[in-house]
Amino acid sequence: MMLKPLSRAGLAAVLALSVATVAAQAGETTMLDKAPAAHKALFAEIKPLILEQAQARPLLLAESQESYFWLMSARLEPLLDAYEYSKDPAFIRAFVPLMEQVLSQRYIHPTKPEWNGWFHYQGFQHIALIDHDAILYFVPALKFVRAVRSDPRLQAQYGARAEAWLKDVEASIRNWDARGCWHDLGEKGGWYTHITHYPDAATGELKPVQNIHAGGSVPYNKVHAFSDALDLAYRVTGNPWYRERMDKCCRYFRSHWRVDDRHAEWNYRDHSFAGDYKTGVLGRGETKTGAFVHPKSGYYRLDVAAVVRAYDLGVFYTRADIEKLLQTNLEFMWMGDAENPKFRKLNGVYEEEGKYNKGTLWTPLAHFDQRIRDLWKARIAQSRRSRGWMWWADALGYLIETSKPVSWEPRLPQN
């Protein structure tokens, strides 16, 4: 399927974004300025929580499990989102040293820069994942670049650092191709596989990854976390490479939906490459991993977020696709209680006990439907009362989303 062409206005917006001098003027009206009183009060409550979290002692990669990537991301991104909402430079001042600390944990290969990254943590056998790079570095750094380029005051202080990080992020995104992880499938799109080698921390020698994931298909949620970086990179640079890569991933993912008159569902991963099979031959014998609907519902919210991002760039997806996702979440998954919303998984499974095997609200669809916004508000109220983990990040996402009207208009790059 061909990419939808950008309108003249959309193309002009993309080109404008690539110019560092285009920016907010002093006295700009922010989302916070225009917010209703209740939203201003909520932001005033969560602001110190976001800043306090950023000031906590940073984790050290070598002493951490895989949770390092998610925990540090949870400190970084709310700072950039809070800046986007309020334009308060306190969030940028807190972000920069934290991002620098994260970068200080990165392994730098002495001769092969395509193998720079966050490989050497505890737990897995040195398996760098594409979503790790995205959530820990690519996404927050690109949001920082966008913030700096939009404000001459930030440009004066942070411009050189922002442009250096942008250059590094662009190279690092393409390193996944250099490692042999990208596979172009022609009209079927394209997808990523896991690395098959990793660099020895002491010598830099590339050694084989010895686990069942090596060379196998990357689960959808991980590539979709990475697609957030592709989206931001396109909005920042206007380079069509990012948009084309998103389109290929969209075509591959959409072809694996199972759709009926009630809902759509899809697996955590599907098997499309030789590395998925124990024989090392595509389609021959047993697969090394399963293809199933995952018990963790949050993974599917990441998938839906990627669909919405692509739709907003005019890439691949149609209104009919979004409507099918709305039907799935609001009619098939939601169990009907508006004050204490509960959801089945997208395959209809629901288990009351335990953390898993239940669904969740697909908040990215709040772009299109007031019912999603109403349920989101109820969820935040619940989480705020119980002081759920990182409830303020969810609240901040709600404040940003509801600063825009419910609309089917794609949000092309223009801010």
Tell which wins on pLDDT, 28 or 252.
Answer: 252
Inform me whether the pLDDT recorded for 2 exceeds 80.
no
DSSP code of residue 202:
T
Please name the helix (run of DSSP H) or strand (run of DSSP E) that holds residue 314, with its range, or none.
none
Inform me whether the pLDDT recorded for 3 exceeds 70.
no
What average pLDDT score do residues 200-204 get? 92
For residue 11 the two structure tokens come to 């193309």
Beta bridge partners of 334: 343
User: pLDDT tens digit string along 174-197?
Assistant: 999 999 999 999 999 999 999 999
- Radius of gyration over every alpha carbon of the chain, rounded to an integer in angstroms: 21
Inform me whether the pLDDT recorded for 21 exceeds 90.
no
Helices (H), 124-210: 130-133, 139-149, 152-178
CB contact at 8 A, 408 and 319: yes
What average pLDDT score do residues 207-233 get? 96
For residue 240 the two structure tokens come to 């069509």
Question: Residues 6 or more apart from 194 whose CB is under 8 A from it?
Answer: 127, 129, 181, 209, 213, 214, 215, 216, 217, 218, 275
pLDDT at site 125: 61
CA distance 191 to 213: 15
CB contact at 8 A, 389 and 382: no
For residue 343 the two structure tokens come to 């959801």
Q: Which residue type is seen at 379? A: R
CA distance 337 to 332: 13
Backbone angles phi, psi at 6, to 5 degrees: -75, 145
Inform me whether the pLDDT recorded for 124 exceeds 50.
yes
> What is the assigned CATH class of domain 35-402?
mainly alpha
Its pTM stands at: 0.92
Inform me whether the pLDDT recorded for 101 exceeds 50.
yes
Percent with pLDDT over 90 in the chain: 89
Q: Please give the mean pLDDT across all residues of the chain.
A: 92
For residue 104 the two structure tokens come to 């200080």
User: pLDDT tens digit string along 244-299?
Assistant: 999 999 999 999 999 999 999 999 999 999 999 999 999 999 999 999 999 999 99
CB contact at 8 A, 165 and 141: yes
User: pLDDT tens digit string along 54-91?
Assistant: 999 999 999 999 999 999 999 999 999 999 999 999 99
User: pLDDT tens digit string along 345-387?
Assistant: 999 999 999 999 999 999 999 999 999 999 999 999 999 999 8
CA distance 260 to 237: 39
CA distance 73 to 76: 5
pLDDT at site 55: 94
What average pLDDT score do residues 97-124 get? 94
pLDDT at site 413: 82
CB contact at 8 A, 410 and 7: no
Cβ neighbourhood burial of 170 (10 Å; 0-12, 13-18, 19+): middle
pLDDT band at 27 (very low <50, low <70, confident <90, very high): low
